[in-house]
Amino acid sequence: MVQRNRLRKAVFPVAGLGTRFLPATKAVPKEMLTVVDKPVIQYVVDEAAEAGIEHFVFVTGRGKGVIEDYFDIQYELEQTLKARNKNAELTLLSGLLPKAGSASFTRQQEPLGLGHAVWCARDIVGREPFALLLPDMIMRGEKGCLKGMVELYDKAGGNIVAVEECAPDQTHKYGIVGVGEALEGGFKITEMVEKPAKGTAPSNFFINGRYILQPEIFAILETQERGAGNEIQLTDGMLKLAREQAFAGYHFKGQTFDCGAKDGFILANVSFAIERADIRPMIEEPLKALLAALK
């Protein structure tokens, strides 16, 4: 039976160590590194809010308390801004603040993988469908990725994963899906394969880090054996869930920046900066000069 229970909650797994950004992440969580002037996690939360998410669930870990503080009122800062008549800055901060009671935080005490991080949110999510957004991935398009997924979910129900196309010779690097019957905005998924051997992928559509999942995934993850990397893999759990429930793929056609990698993080900063009317005039010519010097 197609399930279309209303989507209200989103899970953000932010407990990762961020080793690829050491030494910076020794003191600053990778999710709080800034793209231009906003932390990476803010872009992802904004995407969820645009899609109508009402409750934001953060799965944190040791040393990530600054994320919880960021999504709270900082009285001293606000009083200083008020005293200096920094009204624009006050308006900006108030617009980023979640409503009281709409953000929850739970801990993943051990780094046991994405599947385990999702399972840690089970009691907060409860018996509801939920969105899962990987916080390293910043996406930009005419329509937010999750908003498009919600529109597909409202029509198709079940479980939705966002997918993008990669070069056929790169499929071995990703989780790849099989393409079935076309749907408005996507297609039915016939299979999911994690990093298929070269020449064996069912398509060149890869899962890009956005999911809408039914709550039955929690019972599966609770008994899920450890897989690759000796971690509890979400993909393994989704494969089991797919035996009982339908999965559809939402074809996202915007830009995706993997801010968990240095190149993706730098590209995100440059891309978002040149889109800003207040910044582009100051950096456009220097950027052209830097590129010209490389030739």
Instruction: Return the higher-pLDDT residue of 126 and 94.
Output: 126
Per-residue pLDDT at 1 = 40
Would you tell me how many other CB atoms lie within 10 Å of the CB of residue 33?
Answer: 17
Helix H or strand E segment including 219: helix 216-222
Indicate whether 231 pLDDT > 50: yes
Share of the chain above pLDDT 90, in %: 63
Chain mean pLDDT for the chain:
91
CA–CA–CA angle 57, 61, 62 (5° rounding): 145
pLDDT confidence bin for 251, thresholds 50/70/90: very high
pLDDT confidence bin for 245, thresholds 50/70/90: very high
User: pLDDT digits over 256-266, tens only?
Assistant: 999 999 999 99
Indicate whether 226 pLDDT > 60: yes
Instruction: Return the higher-pLDDT residue of 223 and 67.
Output: 67
Q: What is the mean pLDDT of residues 123-127?
A: 95
What residues does each domain of the chain span? 9-260
Angle of helix 75-83 relative to helix 87-96, nearest 10 degrees?
Answer: 150
Per-residue pLDDT at 42 = 96
Task: Decide: 29 and 62 in contact? Cβ < 8 Å.
Answer: no
User: pLDDT digits over 22-45, tens only?
Assistant: 898 888 999 999 999 999 999 999
pLDDT confidence bin for 124, thresholds 50/70/90: very high
CA distance 250 to 152: 7
Give the contacts of 233 (CB within 8 A, at least 6 positions apart): 113, 114, 115, 194, 224, 226, 227
Per-residue pLDDT at 4 = 66
pLDDT confidence bin for 160, thresholds 50/70/90: very high
What superfamily in CATH does domain 9-260 come from?
Spore Coat Polysaccharide Biosynthesis Protein SpsA; Chain A (3.90.550.10)
CA distance 284 to 280: 6
Backbone phi and psi for residue 83, each to the nearest 5 degrees, phi listed first = -65, -30
